[in-house]
């Protein structure tokens, strides 16, 4: 659950990203933009361009829209043996896209593992499709970097330190028309805050486990020290045996008296 302070951090970051998007608007909605290896973003028209689809060897199209493809468009995909799936989002800042984050992540992640070429698109290729790809990249960033160094872990867990703008800047460098609405930006930042909390829980659990192991080691060492002392004490106890013949004779004489 987010605290009021968490929400204040998010609102402040939304304003920063909003200004950035206004200043860095650019063209290129219809082209295929390679965001990472295997992942492309385009608009609706581009998603139905057979030349683009063939050139990029697209095998899966993820449509982030509540609108459906026409029969002609679906026939094109069937002819080219391209699979398609829908993520029903409307490009409205009040639409709840958070509910689709994990579903989209699993589809994209598994497709990349299979080395498929994937096209993600919405109507413009600038907002809803971009937002979903941003979540994927954001989660991959946290999962990939967490646990590398303590300094990085502390940065990732800090509620004041957001990575969304950094990732958004990267994506915008690959596709200049990127312009997700601020409602989606807010939801992405909220998701990032929860990722931070998950990382913090993992970090705390790891520390607790390490402390538990340390206590077990200390207990084991203490037990070994006790056993060592007990063993040494047994060795220190002396038992006198009469092995000398003269001693036996003396004892015999003494007994006759």
pLDDT score, position 234: 64
* Average confidence (pLDDT) over 128-136: 98
The structure's pTM equals 0.78
Question: Which is more confident, 243 or 227?
Answer: 227
Question: How far, in Å, are 4, 71, 92, 154, 160 from residue 8 at the CA level?
Answer: 6, 47, 23, 20, 10
Question: Which is more confident, 95 or 223?
Answer: 95
Domain that holds residue 58: 4-207
93-107, 148-162, 236-250: lowest mean pLDDT where?
236-250
Residue 161, phi then psi, degrees to nearest 5? -105, 110
pLDDT score, position 256: 46
Per-residue pLDDT reduced to its tens digit, 154-178: 888 898 899 999 999 999 999 999 9
The pLDDT mean for the chain works out to 86
Looking at the predicted structure, is the pLDDT value of residue 211 above 70?
A: no
Q: Among residues of the chain, what percentage have pLDDT more than 70? A: 81
In a domain, 256, yes or no: no
In a domain, 115, yes or no: yes
Residues with Cβ within 8 Å of 173's Cβ and at least 6 positions away in sequence, in order, are none
Bridge partners, 39 (sequence order)? 36, 118
> For residue 257, what pLDDT band results from cuts at 50, 70 and 90?
very low
* Average confidence (pLDDT) over 98-110: 97
170-174, 227-231, 250-254: lowest mean pLDDT where?
250-254
In a domain, 244, yes or no: no
CB 198 within 8 A of CB 160: no
Count other Cβ atoms within 10 Å, centred on residue 89. Answer: 23
In a domain, 231, yes or no: no
> For residue 216, what pLDDT band results from cuts at 50, 70 and 90?
low
pLDDT score, position 80: 97
In a domain, 86, yes or no: yes
- CATH, residue 95: 3.90.190.10
Return the DSSP state at 24: T
Looking at the predicted structure, is the pLDDT value of residue 61 above 70?
A: yes
Question: How far, in Å, are 11, 43, 121 from residue 69 at the CA level?
Answer: 36, 13, 12
pLDDT score, position 212: 60
In a domain, 242, yes or no: no
Question: Which is more confident, 104 or 7?
Answer: 104
* Average confidence (pLDDT) over 108-116: 97
pLDDT score, position 222: 66
pLDDT score, position 78: 97
In a domain, 257, yes or no: no
For the chain, the domain total comes to 1
In a domain, 225, yes or no: no
Return the DSSP state at 91: S
CA angle 134, 141, 190 (to 5 degrees): 55
pLDDT score, position 25: 67
Q: Is 197 exposed, middle or buried (0-12, 13-18, 19+ CB in 10 A)?
A: middle
Question: Which is more confident, 113 or 249?
Answer: 113
């Amino acid at each position: 659950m987010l605290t009021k302070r968490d929400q204040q951090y998010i609102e402040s970051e939304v304003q920063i990203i909003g200004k950035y998007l206004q200043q860095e608007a650019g063209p290129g909605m219809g082209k295929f933009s390679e965001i990472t290896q295997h992942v492309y973003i385009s608009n609706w028209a581009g998603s139905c361009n057979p030349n683009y689809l063939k050139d990029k060897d697209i095998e899966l199209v993820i449509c982030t829209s509540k609108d459906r493809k026409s029969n002609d468009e679906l026939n094109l995909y069937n002819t080219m043996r391209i699979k398609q799936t829908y993520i029903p989002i409307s490009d409205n800042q009040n639409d709840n896209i958070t509910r689709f984050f994990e579903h989209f992540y699993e589809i994209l992640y598994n497709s990349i593992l299979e080395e498929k070429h994937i096209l993600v698109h919405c109507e413009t290729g600038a907002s809803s499709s971009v937002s979903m790809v941003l979540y994927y990249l954001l989660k991959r960033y946290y999962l990939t970097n967490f646990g590398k160094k303590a300094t990085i872990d502390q940065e990732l867990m800090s509620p004041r330190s957001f990575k969304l703008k950094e990732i958004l800047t990267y994506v915008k460098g690959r596709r200049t028309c990127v312009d997700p609405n601020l409602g989606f930006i807010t939801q992405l930042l909220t998701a990032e805050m929860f990722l931070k909390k998950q990382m913090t829980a993992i970090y705390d659990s790891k520390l607790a486990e390490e402390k538990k192991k340390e206590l077990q080691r200390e207990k084991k060492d203490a037990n070994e020290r006790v056993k060592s002392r007990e063993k040494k004490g047994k060795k220190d106890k002396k038992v006198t045996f009469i092995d000398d013949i003269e001693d036996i004779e003396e004892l015999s004489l003494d007994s006759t008296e």
